[in-house]
Protein backbone atom coordinates (compact mmCIF):
# COMPACT_ATOMS: atom_id res chain seq x y z
CA UNK A 1 0.00 0.00 0.00
CA UNK A 2 1.08 3.56 -0.69
CA UNK A 3 2.12 6.03 1.98
CA UNK A 4 -0.59 8.31 3.33
CA UNK A 5 -0.37 11.77 1.76
CA UNK A 6 -0.55 14.64 4.20
CA UNK A 7 0.69 18.16 3.64
CA UNK A 8 2.66 18.71 6.85
CA UNK A 9 1.87 22.43 6.89
CA UNK A 10 -1.84 21.59 7.16
CA UNK A 11 -1.45 19.62 10.38
CA UNK A 12 -2.43 21.04 13.75
CA UNK A 13 1.07 20.28 15.06
CA UNK A 14 2.73 22.30 12.28
CA UNK A 15 0.53 25.29 13.01
CA UNK A 16 1.37 25.08 16.70
CA UNK A 17 5.05 24.66 15.87
CA UNK A 18 4.89 27.85 13.84
CA UNK A 19 3.50 29.78 16.83
CA UNK A 20 5.93 28.08 19.15
CA UNK A 21 8.84 28.98 16.87
CA UNK A 22 8.06 32.69 17.29
CA UNK A 23 8.73 32.15 20.98
CA UNK A 24 11.74 29.84 20.59
CA UNK A 25 13.58 31.64 17.79
CA UNK A 26 15.73 33.73 20.06
CA UNK A 27 15.65 31.68 23.25
CA UNK A 28 19.08 31.15 24.71
CA UNK A 29 20.14 27.55 25.17
CA UNK A 30 22.44 28.69 27.98
CA UNK A 31 19.44 30.12 29.84
CA UNK A 32 17.56 26.88 29.32
CA UNK A 33 20.52 24.93 30.74
CA UNK A 34 20.75 27.29 33.73
CA UNK A 35 17.01 27.11 34.41
CA UNK A 36 16.81 23.36 34.15
CA UNK A 37 19.58 21.29 35.74
CA UNK A 38 17.87 18.17 34.37
CA UNK A 39 17.96 19.33 30.76
CA UNK A 40 20.47 16.79 29.53
CA UNK A 41 18.56 14.01 31.31
CA UNK A 42 15.48 14.96 29.30
CA UNK A 43 17.20 15.25 25.96
CA UNK A 44 19.42 12.25 25.49
CA UNK A 45 19.02 8.66 24.35
CA UNK A 46 21.26 5.75 25.29
CA UNK A 47 20.93 2.78 22.96
CA UNK A 48 23.45 -0.08 22.86
CA UNK A 49 26.87 1.45 22.23
CA UNK A 50 25.33 4.79 21.22
CA UNK A 51 24.67 7.89 23.27
CA UNK A 52 22.82 10.71 21.55
CA UNK A 53 22.89 13.95 23.51
CA UNK A 54 20.56 16.41 21.80
CA UNK A 55 20.23 18.80 24.70
CA UNK A 56 22.32 21.44 22.88
CA UNK A 57 19.43 22.27 20.59
CA UNK A 58 17.04 25.19 20.52
CA UNK A 59 14.21 23.14 21.91
CA UNK A 60 12.30 22.75 25.15
CA UNK A 61 9.87 20.04 26.23
CA UNK A 62 7.05 21.74 24.38
CA UNK A 63 9.06 21.76 21.13
CA UNK A 64 9.72 18.08 21.48
CA UNK A 65 6.08 17.31 22.26
CA UNK A 66 4.94 19.26 19.21
CA UNK A 67 7.49 17.58 16.93
CA UNK A 68 6.39 14.19 18.25
CA UNK A 69 2.77 15.20 17.70
CA UNK A 70 3.70 16.06 14.10
CA UNK A 71 5.13 12.56 13.66
CA UNK A 72 1.89 11.09 15.00
CA UNK A 73 -0.32 13.30 12.88
CA UNK A 74 1.63 12.51 9.75
CA UNK A 75 1.13 8.83 10.59
CA UNK A 76 4.80 7.95 10.76
CA UNK A 77 4.02 4.64 12.48
CA UNK A 78 2.02 3.49 9.46
CA UNK A 79 4.81 4.60 7.10
CA UNK A 80 7.44 2.68 9.11
CA UNK A 81 5.36 -0.48 8.93
CA UNK A 82 5.00 -0.12 5.17
CA UNK A 83 8.72 0.53 4.79
CA UNK A 84 9.72 -2.66 6.64
CA UNK A 85 6.91 -4.72 5.18
CA UNK A 86 7.98 -4.14 1.58
CA UNK A 87 5.01 -2.05 0.43
CA UNK A 88 5.66 -0.23 -2.82
CA UNK A 89 6.42 3.06 -1.13
CA UNK A 90 8.68 4.03 -4.06
CA UNK A 91 5.49 4.63 -6.03
CA UNK A 92 6.98 6.59 -8.95
CA UNK A 93 9.09 3.55 -9.78
CA UNK A 94 6.41 1.10 -8.57
CA UNK A 95 8.88 -0.55 -6.17
CA UNK A 96 9.46 -1.33 -2.53
CA UNK A 97 12.40 0.29 -0.75
CA UNK A 98 13.54 -2.76 1.08
CA UNK A 99 17.23 -2.35 1.88
CA UNK A 100 16.33 -3.38 5.45
CA UNK A 101 15.56 -6.88 4.10
CA UNK A 102 19.25 -7.27 3.26
CA UNK A 103 20.08 -7.40 6.96
CA UNK A 104 16.89 -8.75 8.50
CA UNK A 105 16.74 -11.78 10.77
CA UNK A 106 13.26 -12.57 9.44
CA UNK A 107 12.91 -15.84 7.57
CA UNK A 108 10.28 -14.70 5.13
CA UNK A 109 9.46 -11.44 3.40
CA UNK A 110 7.27 -11.37 0.34
CA UNK A 111 7.80 -8.99 -2.57
CA UNK A 112 5.31 -9.56 -5.40
CA UNK A 113 4.45 -12.88 -3.78
CA UNK A 114 8.06 -14.09 -3.74
CA UNK A 115 10.04 -14.77 -0.56
CA UNK A 116 13.06 -12.51 -1.11
CA UNK A 117 14.90 -13.75 1.97
CA UNK A 118 15.81 -16.98 0.18
CA UNK A 119 17.34 -15.05 -2.71
CA UNK A 120 19.19 -12.74 -0.33
CA UNK A 121 20.63 -15.69 1.56
CA UNK A 122 21.70 -17.37 -1.64
CA UNK A 123 23.58 -14.23 -2.81
CA UNK A 124 25.13 -13.84 0.65
CA UNK A 125 26.35 -17.44 0.43
CA UNK A 126 27.92 -16.66 -2.92
CA UNK A 127 29.61 -13.52 -1.53
CA UNK A 128 30.97 -15.56 1.38
CA UNK A 129 32.47 -18.29 -0.79
CA UNK A 130 33.86 -15.81 -3.28
CA UNK A 131 35.47 -13.53 -0.72
CA UNK A 132 36.97 -16.46 1.15
CA UNK A 133 38.52 -17.83 -2.03
CA UNK A 134 40.02 -14.45 -2.98
CA UNK A 135 41.30 -13.64 0.51
CA UNK A 136 42.80 -17.09 1.05
CA UNK A 137 44.45 -16.95 -2.36
CA UNK A 138 42.80 -20.14 -3.56
CA UNK A 139 41.15 -18.19 -6.37
CA UNK A 140 43.89 -17.10 -8.71
CA UNK A 141 44.51 -14.84 -11.67
CA UNK A 142 45.38 -15.98 -15.18
CA UNK A 143 49.06 -16.57 -14.42
CA UNK A 144 48.33 -18.57 -11.29
CA UNK A 145 49.07 -15.77 -8.86
CA UNK A 146 46.80 -14.83 -5.96
CA UNK A 147 44.98 -11.50 -6.15
CA UNK A 148 46.53 -8.51 -4.43
CA UNK A 149 44.36 -5.68 -5.73
CA UNK A 150 40.61 -5.24 -6.08
CA UNK A 151 39.12 -2.52 -8.26
CA UNK A 152 35.52 -1.47 -7.68
CA UNK A 153 34.20 0.14 -10.86
CA UNK A 154 30.95 1.97 -10.13
CA UNK A 155 29.53 5.40 -9.41
CA UNK A 156 26.98 6.99 -7.05
CA UNK A 157 25.41 4.31 -4.91
CA UNK A 158 27.61 1.70 -6.57
CA UNK A 159 30.71 3.47 -5.29
CA UNK A 160 30.11 5.87 -2.40
CA UNK A 161 28.81 3.34 0.16
CA UNK A 162 31.49 0.68 -0.41
CA UNK A 163 34.23 3.32 -0.66
CA UNK A 164 33.10 4.97 2.58
CA UNK A 165 32.83 1.64 4.43
CA UNK A 166 36.17 0.28 3.18
CA UNK A 167 37.82 3.50 4.36
CA UNK A 168 35.96 3.45 7.67
CA UNK A 169 36.92 -0.16 8.38
CA UNK A 170 40.56 0.12 7.37
CA UNK A 171 41.59 -0.99 10.85
CA UNK A 172 39.95 -4.37 10.19
CA UNK A 173 41.27 -4.87 6.67
CA UNK A 174 43.37 -7.71 5.33
CA UNK A 175 46.22 -7.74 2.80
CA UNK A 176 44.08 -6.84 -0.25
CA UNK A 177 44.45 -3.34 -1.71
CA UNK A 178 41.15 -1.75 -2.62
CA UNK A 179 40.72 0.83 -5.38
CA UNK A 180 37.59 2.72 -6.41
CA UNK A 181 37.24 4.02 -9.94
CA UNK A 182 34.12 6.08 -10.47
CA UNK A 183 34.65 9.26 -12.45
CA UNK A 184 34.27 9.37 -16.23
CA UNK A 185 37.39 11.54 -16.09
CA UNK A 186 39.92 9.42 -18.01
CA UNK A 187 42.67 10.75 -15.77
CA UNK A 188 41.07 8.93 -12.85
CA UNK A 189 41.36 5.54 -14.61
CA UNK A 190 44.81 6.36 -15.95
CA UNK A 191 46.14 7.23 -12.50
CA UNK A 192 44.62 4.09 -10.98
CA UNK A 193 46.04 1.82 -13.69
CA UNK A 194 49.55 2.96 -12.79
CA UNK A 195 49.22 1.12 -9.48
CA UNK A 196 47.85 -2.13 -10.93
CA UNK A 197 49.29 -5.37 -12.19
CA UNK A 198 46.85 -7.19 -14.51
CA UNK A 199 48.02 -10.59 -13.26
CA UNK A 200 46.93 -9.92 -9.69
CA UNK A 201 44.00 -7.52 -10.08
CA UNK A 202 40.36 -8.42 -9.71
CA UNK A 203 37.74 -6.06 -11.17
CA UNK A 204 34.23 -5.73 -9.77
CA UNK A 205 31.91 -3.89 -12.13
CA UNK A 206 29.08 -2.60 -9.97
CA UNK A 207 26.07 -1.11 -11.67
CA UNK A 208 22.48 -1.76 -10.78
CA UNK A 209 21.34 -0.82 -14.28
CA UNK A 210 24.55 -1.70 -16.12
CA UNK A 211 23.86 1.20 -18.44
CA UNK A 212 25.63 3.97 -16.51
CA UNK A 213 27.97 5.77 -18.90
CA UNK A 214 30.79 6.25 -16.37
CA UNK A 215 30.85 2.66 -15.19
CA UNK A 216 30.55 1.03 -18.58
CA UNK A 217 33.22 3.32 -20.10
CA UNK A 218 35.62 2.67 -17.22
CA UNK A 219 34.95 -1.07 -17.26
CA UNK A 220 35.50 -1.16 -21.02
CA UNK A 221 38.81 0.67 -20.84
CA UNK A 222 39.99 -1.53 -17.97
CA UNK A 223 39.01 -4.66 -19.85
CA UNK A 224 40.97 -3.42 -22.87
CA UNK A 225 43.96 -2.70 -20.65
CA UNK A 226 43.67 -6.16 -19.12
CA UNK A 227 43.52 -7.79 -22.56
CA UNK A 228 46.91 -6.31 -23.39
CA UNK A 229 48.27 -8.98 -21.01
CA UNK A 230 45.56 -11.62 -20.66
CA UNK A 231 43.54 -13.55 -23.21
CA UNK A 232 39.79 -13.26 -23.78
CA UNK A 233 39.11 -16.42 -21.74
CA UNK A 234 41.06 -14.93 -18.81
CA UNK A 235 38.43 -12.20 -18.40
CA UNK A 236 36.29 -14.73 -16.51
CA UNK A 237 38.98 -15.03 -13.87
CA UNK A 238 39.43 -11.29 -13.40
CA UNK A 239 36.04 -9.63 -13.96
CA UNK A 240 32.93 -10.02 -11.85
CA UNK A 241 29.77 -7.92 -11.85
CA UNK A 242 27.05 -6.83 -9.47
CA UNK A 243 23.86 -5.88 -11.26
CA UNK A 244 20.14 -6.42 -11.83
CA UNK A 245 20.72 -6.35 -15.59
CA UNK A 246 22.02 -9.85 -16.29
CA UNK A 247 21.53 -9.44 -20.07
CA UNK A 248 23.82 -6.40 -20.33
CA UNK A 249 26.43 -7.95 -18.01
CA UNK A 250 26.57 -11.05 -20.17
CA UNK A 251 26.87 -8.93 -23.29
CA UNK A 252 29.79 -7.12 -21.71
CA UNK A 253 31.53 -10.50 -21.53
CA UNK A 254 31.27 -11.40 -17.87
CA UNK A 255 30.62 -15.09 -17.20
CA UNK A 256 27.26 -15.91 -15.59
CA UNK A 257 29.04 -17.55 -12.63
CA UNK A 258 30.68 -14.21 -11.96
CA UNK A 259 27.44 -12.26 -11.65
CA UNK A 260 26.18 -11.24 -8.23
CA UNK A 261 22.53 -10.33 -8.63
CA UNK A 262 20.78 -7.46 -6.89
CA UNK A 263 17.17 -6.38 -6.96
CA UNK A 264 15.18 -3.39 -8.10
CA UNK A 265 13.70 -3.02 -4.60
CA UNK A 266 17.12 -1.88 -3.35
CA UNK A 267 17.90 1.73 -4.20
CA UNK A 268 21.47 2.41 -5.37
CA UNK A 269 22.25 4.74 -2.48
CA UNK A 270 20.99 2.15 0.03
CA UNK A 271 22.69 -0.82 -1.58
CA UNK A 272 25.99 -1.30 0.25
CA UNK A 273 24.34 -4.11 2.26
CA UNK A 274 23.79 -6.14 -0.92
CA UNK A 275 26.43 -7.58 -3.26
CA UNK A 276 27.28 -3.93 -3.99
CA UNK A 277 29.24 -4.31 -0.74
CA UNK A 278 31.37 -7.09 -2.23
CA UNK A 279 34.45 -4.86 -2.01
CA UNK A 280 33.74 -4.31 1.70
CA UNK A 281 33.53 -8.06 2.29
CA UNK A 282 36.77 -8.55 0.34
CA UNK A 283 38.54 -5.86 2.31
CA UNK A 284 37.55 -6.93 5.83
CA UNK A 285 36.41 -10.52 5.35
CA UNK A 286 32.91 -11.94 5.25
CA UNK A 287 32.62 -12.24 9.02
CA UNK A 288 33.11 -8.51 9.43
CA UNK A 289 30.70 -7.83 6.57
CA UNK A 290 28.13 -9.88 8.48
CA UNK A 291 28.82 -7.80 11.59
CA UNK A 292 28.19 -4.65 9.55
CA UNK A 293 24.82 -6.09 8.51
CA UNK A 294 24.13 -7.12 12.06
CA UNK A 295 24.79 -3.61 13.37
CA UNK A 296 22.41 -2.21 10.76
CA UNK A 297 19.82 -4.81 11.68
CA UNK A 298 20.01 -3.80 15.36
CA UNK A 299 19.40 -0.18 14.38
CA UNK A 300 16.49 -1.30 12.18
CA UNK A 301 14.91 -3.04 15.16
CA UNK A 302 15.42 0.05 17.31
CA UNK A 303 13.89 2.27 14.64
CA UNK A 304 10.96 -0.05 14.04
CA UNK A 305 10.10 -0.62 17.69
CA UNK A 306 11.32 2.17 19.96
CA UNK A 307 8.74 4.79 20.93
CA UNK A 308 9.39 7.95 18.97
CA UNK A 309 10.66 9.87 22.00
CA UNK A 310 13.42 7.24 22.48
CA UNK A 311 14.06 6.66 18.80
CA UNK A 312 17.39 8.04 17.60
CA UNK A 313 16.54 8.35 13.90
CA UNK A 314 13.12 9.85 14.61
CA UNK A 315 14.53 12.44 17.02
CA UNK A 316 17.32 13.40 14.60
CA UNK A 317 14.84 13.72 11.75
CA UNK A 318 12.44 15.85 13.79
CA UNK A 319 15.23 18.17 14.91
CA UNK A 320 16.35 18.52 11.33
CA UNK A 321 12.79 19.42 10.27
CA UNK A 322 12.64 21.96 13.12
CA UNK A 323 15.73 23.77 11.82
CA UNK A 324 15.01 23.33 8.12
CA UNK A 325 11.38 24.37 8.12
CA UNK A 326 11.11 26.78 11.01
CA UNK A 327 14.55 28.35 11.47
CA UNK A 328 15.15 28.29 7.70
CA UNK A 329 18.50 26.53 7.99
CA UNK A 330 19.58 25.35 4.58
CA UNK A 331 22.51 23.16 5.50
CA UNK A 332 23.61 20.64 8.09
CA UNK A 333 27.18 19.67 8.83
CA UNK A 334 28.31 16.19 9.82
CA UNK A 335 31.59 16.21 11.71
CA UNK A 336 32.99 12.81 12.65
CA UNK A 337 35.95 12.96 14.99
CA UNK A 338 37.60 10.04 13.27
CA UNK A 339 39.81 10.17 10.21
CA UNK A 340 38.40 6.76 9.27
CA UNK A 341 35.08 8.48 8.59
CA UNK A 342 36.45 10.96 6.11
CA UNK A 343 34.12 9.67 3.41
CA UNK A 344 31.00 9.79 5.54
CA UNK A 345 29.94 13.26 4.39
CA UNK A 346 30.22 12.51 0.63
CA UNK A 347 28.33 9.27 1.23
CA UNK A 348 25.58 11.10 3.11
CA UNK A 349 25.42 13.79 0.46
CA UNK A 350 24.08 11.26 -2.01
CA UNK A 351 21.95 9.42 0.54
CA UNK A 352 20.30 12.60 1.82
CA UNK A 353 20.24 14.89 -1.18
CA UNK A 354 19.35 12.36 -3.88
CA UNK A 355 16.59 11.09 -1.62
CA UNK A 356 15.02 14.26 -0.30
CA UNK A 357 15.98 16.85 -2.91
CA UNK A 358 12.42 16.92 -4.28
CA UNK A 359 10.12 19.83 -5.10
CA UNK A 360 6.78 18.14 -5.61
CA UNK A 361 4.75 16.23 -3.05
CA UNK A 362 3.43 12.71 -3.38
CA UNK A 363 0.47 14.02 -5.39
CA UNK A 364 2.82 15.70 -7.82
CA UNK A 365 2.02 19.22 -6.59
CA UNK A 366 4.78 21.73 -5.84
CA UNK A 367 5.47 21.82 -2.11
CA UNK A 368 4.91 25.07 -0.22
CA UNK A 369 7.69 24.37 2.28
CA UNK A 370 11.37 23.46 2.23
CA UNK A 371 12.48 19.85 1.72
CA UNK A 372 15.94 18.22 1.55
CA UNK A 373 18.80 19.80 3.43
CA UNK A 374 22.27 20.37 2.06
CA UNK A 375 24.74 18.07 3.77
CA UNK A 376 28.42 18.70 4.10
CA UNK A 377 31.25 18.01 6.48
CA UNK A 378 34.77 16.82 7.16
CA UNK A 379 36.39 15.01 10.03
CA UNK A 380 37.37 16.95 13.13
CA UNK A 381 39.77 18.22 14.18
CA UNK A 382 40.73 19.13 10.57
CA UNK A 383 37.36 20.78 10.08
CA UNK A 384 38.09 23.16 12.94
CA UNK A 385 41.00 24.55 10.94
CA UNK A 386 38.98 24.77 7.75
CA UNK A 387 35.37 25.97 8.01
CA UNK A 388 34.53 26.16 11.72
CA UNK A 389 35.18 29.90 11.71
CA UNK A 390 31.97 30.35 9.73
CA UNK A 391 29.96 28.05 12.01
CA UNK A 392 31.15 29.95 15.09
CA UNK A 393 31.07 33.54 13.92
CA UNK A 394 29.37 33.61 10.50
CA UNK A 395 25.85 34.82 9.84
CA UNK A 396 24.35 31.42 9.09
CA UNK A 397 22.85 28.97 11.53
CA UNK A 398 24.27 25.53 10.78
CA UNK A 399 23.11 22.62 12.92
CA UNK A 400 25.92 20.06 13.26
CA UNK A 401 26.13 16.38 14.11
CA UNK A 402 29.29 15.64 16.08
CA UNK A 403 30.21 11.96 16.00
CA UNK A 404 32.92 10.70 18.34
CA UNK A 405 34.20 7.42 19.73
CA UNK A 406 35.13 6.62 23.32
CA UNK A 407 37.88 4.13 22.45
CA UNK A 408 40.52 4.68 19.79
CA UNK A 409 41.38 1.72 17.59
CA UNK A 410 45.15 1.88 17.88
CA UNK A 411 45.16 2.44 21.62
CA UNK A 412 46.94 5.77 21.45
CA UNK A 413 45.11 7.18 24.44
CA UNK A 414 47.04 10.43 24.72
CA UNK A 415 46.21 11.36 21.13
CA UNK A 416 42.64 10.24 21.51
CA UNK A 417 42.12 12.36 24.61
CA UNK A 418 43.41 15.37 22.67
CA UNK A 419 41.06 14.57 19.80
CA UNK A 420 38.10 14.12 22.11
CA UNK A 421 38.87 17.23 24.12
CA UNK A 422 38.47 19.11 20.84
CA UNK A 423 35.25 17.22 20.17
CA UNK A 424 33.72 18.22 23.50
CA UNK A 425 35.17 21.74 23.41
CA UNK A 426 33.64 22.57 20.06
CA UNK A 427 30.06 21.75 21.01
CA UNK A 428 30.56 23.61 24.28
CA UNK A 429 31.95 26.66 22.46
CA UNK A 430 29.11 26.56 19.96
CA UNK A 431 26.64 26.48 22.83
CA UNK A 432 28.20 29.04 25.18
CA UNK A 433 29.79 31.50 22.81
CA UNK A 434 31.98 34.15 24.36
CA UNK A 435 30.36 37.31 25.71
CA UNK A 436 31.81 40.79 25.63
CA UNK A 437 32.57 40.65 29.38
CA UNK A 438 34.44 37.37 28.91
CA UNK A 439 36.55 38.92 26.16
CA UNK A 440 37.39 41.85 28.45
CA UNK A 441 38.09 39.48 31.36
CA UNK A 442 40.60 37.72 29.11
CA UNK A 443 42.56 40.97 29.04
CA UNK A 444 41.49 42.44 25.70
CA UNK A 445 41.81 46.16 26.35
CA UNK A 446 41.44 47.52 22.85
CA UNK A 447 37.68 48.11 22.60
CA UNK A 448 37.81 47.97 18.82
CA UNK A 449 38.79 44.31 18.99
CA UNK A 450 35.95 43.20 21.24
CA UNK A 451 33.27 42.49 18.58
CA UNK A 452 35.77 40.48 16.54
CA UNK A 453 36.54 38.27 19.51
CA UNK A 454 32.99 37.87 20.68
CA UNK A 455 31.08 34.66 19.84
CA UNK A 456 27.29 34.70 19.95
CA UNK A 457 27.04 30.98 20.70
CA UNK A 458 23.58 29.39 20.84
CA UNK A 459 24.53 27.19 17.86
CA UNK A 460 22.75 23.83 17.83
CA UNK A 461 24.63 20.53 17.86
CA UNK A 462 23.82 16.84 18.30
CA UNK A 463 26.51 14.79 19.99
CA UNK A 464 26.69 11.14 19.07
CA UNK A 465 29.14 9.35 21.31
CA UNK A 466 29.75 5.76 20.25
CA UNK A 467 31.79 3.23 22.15
CA UNK A 468 34.17 2.24 19.36
CA UNK A 469 34.31 2.22 15.56
CA UNK A 470 33.59 -1.40 14.65
CA UNK A 471 31.80 -3.04 11.72
CA UNK A 472 28.70 -3.29 13.94
CA UNK A 473 28.66 0.32 15.06
CA UNK A 474 29.36 1.51 11.51
CA UNK A 475 26.38 -0.56 10.33
CA UNK A 476 24.20 0.98 13.03
CA UNK A 477 25.40 4.50 12.24
CA UNK A 478 24.65 4.24 8.53
CA UNK A 479 21.26 2.62 9.16
CA UNK A 480 20.52 5.43 11.64
CA UNK A 481 21.01 8.02 8.89
CA UNK A 482 19.04 5.93 6.36
CA UNK A 483 16.05 5.98 8.70
CA UNK A 484 16.47 9.68 9.43
CA UNK A 485 16.23 10.30 5.67
CA UNK A 486 13.11 8.12 5.49
CA UNK A 487 11.37 9.94 8.35
CA UNK A 488 12.07 13.32 6.80
CA UNK A 489 10.73 12.18 3.44
CA UNK A 490 7.55 10.96 5.14
CA UNK A 491 7.08 14.26 6.97
CA UNK A 492 7.74 16.29 3.84
CA UNK A 493 5.27 14.13 1.91
CA UNK A 494 7.77 13.47 -0.88
CA UNK A 495 9.07 10.36 -2.61
CA UNK A 496 12.53 9.68 -1.18
CA UNK A 497 13.44 6.68 -3.29
CA UNK A 498 13.50 7.94 -6.86
CA UNK A 499 16.08 10.24 -8.47
CA UNK A 500 14.67 11.60 -11.72
CA UNK A 501 16.62 14.82 -11.24
CA UNK A 502 19.84 13.05 -12.11
CA UNK A 503 18.53 11.77 -15.44
CA UNK A 504 18.13 15.02 -17.36
CA UNK A 505 21.81 15.98 -17.23
CA UNK A 506 22.72 12.48 -18.43
CA UNK A 507 20.40 12.84 -21.46
CA UNK A 508 21.87 16.21 -22.43
CA UNK A 509 25.42 14.90 -21.99
CA UNK A 510 24.67 12.13 -24.49
CA UNK A 511 23.37 14.64 -27.02
CA UNK A 512 26.43 16.86 -26.58
CA UNK A 513 28.81 13.91 -26.82
CA UNK A 514 27.20 12.97 -30.09
CA UNK A 515 27.74 16.52 -31.36
CA UNK A 516 31.38 16.52 -30.26
CA UNK A 517 31.97 13.17 -31.96
CA UNK A 518 30.16 13.93 -35.20
CA UNK A 519 30.65 17.70 -35.45
CA UNK A 520 26.89 18.07 -36.15
CA UNK A 521 25.86 20.86 -33.86
CA UNK A 522 22.38 21.08 -32.44
CA UNK A 523 20.56 24.16 -31.13
CA UNK A 524 21.57 25.25 -27.61
CA UNK A 525 21.29 28.34 -25.49
CA UNK A 526 23.89 30.87 -26.61
CA UNK A 527 26.15 30.33 -23.60
CA UNK A 528 26.38 26.55 -24.11
CA UNK A 529 26.85 27.10 -27.86
CA UNK A 530 29.71 29.53 -27.17
CA UNK A 531 31.37 27.15 -24.70
CA UNK A 532 31.09 24.15 -27.03
CA UNK A 533 32.60 26.10 -29.89
CA UNK A 534 35.46 27.35 -27.72
CA UNK A 535 36.13 23.78 -26.54
CA UNK A 536 36.07 22.31 -30.08
CA UNK A 537 38.13 25.11 -31.65
CA UNK A 538 40.96 24.82 -29.12
CA UNK A 539 40.81 21.03 -29.26
CA UNK A 540 41.21 20.98 -33.03
CA UNK A 541 43.90 23.69 -33.23
O1 LIG B 1 23.45 9.23 -9.88
C2 LIG B 1 22.29 8.63 -10.33
C3 LIG B 1 22.31 7.18 -10.11
O4 LIG B 1 21.20 6.69 -10.76
C5 LIG B 1 22.33 6.80 -8.63
O6 LIG B 1 21.09 6.77 -8.06
C7 LIG B 1 23.00 5.48 -8.68
O8 LIG B 1 23.48 5.12 -7.42
C9 LIG B 1 24.08 5.74 -9.69
O10 LIG B 1 23.47 6.57 -10.64
C11 LIG B 1 24.69 4.53 -10.31
O12 LIG B 1 23.74 3.75 -10.97
P13 LIG B 1 24.06 2.27 -11.40
O14 LIG B 1 24.34 1.47 -10.17
O15 LIG B 1 22.84 1.80 -12.12
O16 LIG B 1 25.27 2.30 -12.30
Q: What is the ipTM for the molecules in this complex?
A: 0.97
- Percentage of residues in the chain having pLDDT higher than 90: 96
Q: Which residue, among 151, 279, 281, 156, has the nearest Cα to 223 in the 3D structure? A: 151
Does 503 score more than 90 pLDDT? Answer: no
The residue-averaged pLDDT of 174-188 equals: 97
Active-site position among 167, 214, 354, 378: 354
Q: Which residue, among 494, 491, 495, 372, has the nearest Cα to 72 in the 3D structure? A: 491
At residue 353, the pLDDT reads 98
Does 223 score more than 90 pLDDT? Answer: yes
At residue 1, the pLDDT reads 79
Atom from ligand 1 closest to the CA of residue 503: 2
Mean pLDDT (the chain, rounded)? 97
At residue 12, the pLDDT reads 98
The residue-averaged pLDDT of 21-46 equals: 97
pTM: 0.97
Measured by CA distance, the residue closest to atom 6 of ligand 1 is 268
| Model pLDDT for residues 301-325, shown as the tens digit of each residue | 999 999 999 999 999 999 999 999 9
Active site residue 415: no
At residue 17, the pLDDT reads 98
The SS3 of residue 398 is coil
Q: Which of 4-8, 142-146, 304-308, 365-369 comes out lowest in average pLDDT?
A: 4-8
The residue-averaged pLDDT of 404-424 equals: 97
At residue 537, the pLDDT reads 87
CA distances from residue 405 to 48, 77, 150, 186 in whole angstroms, order as listed:
13, 31, 29, 38
Cis peptide before 381 (omega within 30 of 0): yes
Does 246 score more than 80 pLDDT? Answer: yes
215 lines ligand 1 (CB under 6 A): yes
**Contact in structure between 109 and 98 (CB atoms under 8 Å):** yes
Cα–Cα distance for residue pair 524/504, rounded to 1 Å: 15
At residue 2, the pLDDT reads 84
Active site residue 231: no
Helix H, strand E, coil C: the string for 136-198 is HCCCECCCCCECCEEEEECCHHHCHHHHHHHHHCHHHCCCCEEEEECCCCHHHHHHHHHCCCH
Cα–Cα distance for residue pair 85/73, rounded to 1 Å: 21
Cα–Cα distance for residue pair 315/313, rounded to 1 Å: 6
The SS3 of residue 89 is coil
Tell me the torsion sign for CA atoms 292, 195, 149, 213: positive
212 lines ligand 1 (CB under 6 A): yes
Does 540 score more than 80 pLDDT? Answer: no
The residue-averaged pLDDT of 224-249 equals: 96
Does 541 score more than 80 pLDDT? Answer: no
Does 539 score more than 90 pLDDT? Answer: no
Cα–Cα distance for residue pair 284/175, rounded to 1 Å: 9
At residue 46, the pLDDT reads 98
499 lines ligand 1 (CB under 6 A): yes
Q: What are the start-end ranges of the H helices in 330-455?
A: 344-348, 355-356, 388-393, 413-432, 436-441, 450-453
Active-site position among 175, 506, 522, 533: 506
The residue-averaged pLDDT of 42-69 equals: 98
Amino acid sequence: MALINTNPTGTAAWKKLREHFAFMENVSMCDMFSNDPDRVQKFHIIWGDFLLDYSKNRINSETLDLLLALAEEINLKDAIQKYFFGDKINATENRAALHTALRTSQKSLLVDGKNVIREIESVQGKIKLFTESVISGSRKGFTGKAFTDIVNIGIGGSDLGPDMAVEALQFYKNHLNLHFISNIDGDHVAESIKKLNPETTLFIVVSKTFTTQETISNATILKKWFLQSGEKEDVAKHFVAVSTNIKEVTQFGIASDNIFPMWDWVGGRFSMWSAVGLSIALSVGYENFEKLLDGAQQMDAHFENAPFEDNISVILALLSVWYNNFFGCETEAVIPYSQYLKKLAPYLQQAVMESNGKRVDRDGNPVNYQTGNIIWGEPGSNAQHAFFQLIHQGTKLIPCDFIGFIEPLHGNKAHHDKLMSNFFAQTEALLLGKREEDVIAEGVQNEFLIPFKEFKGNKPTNTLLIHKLTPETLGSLIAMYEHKIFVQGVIWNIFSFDQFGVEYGKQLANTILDEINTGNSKPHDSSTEFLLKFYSDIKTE
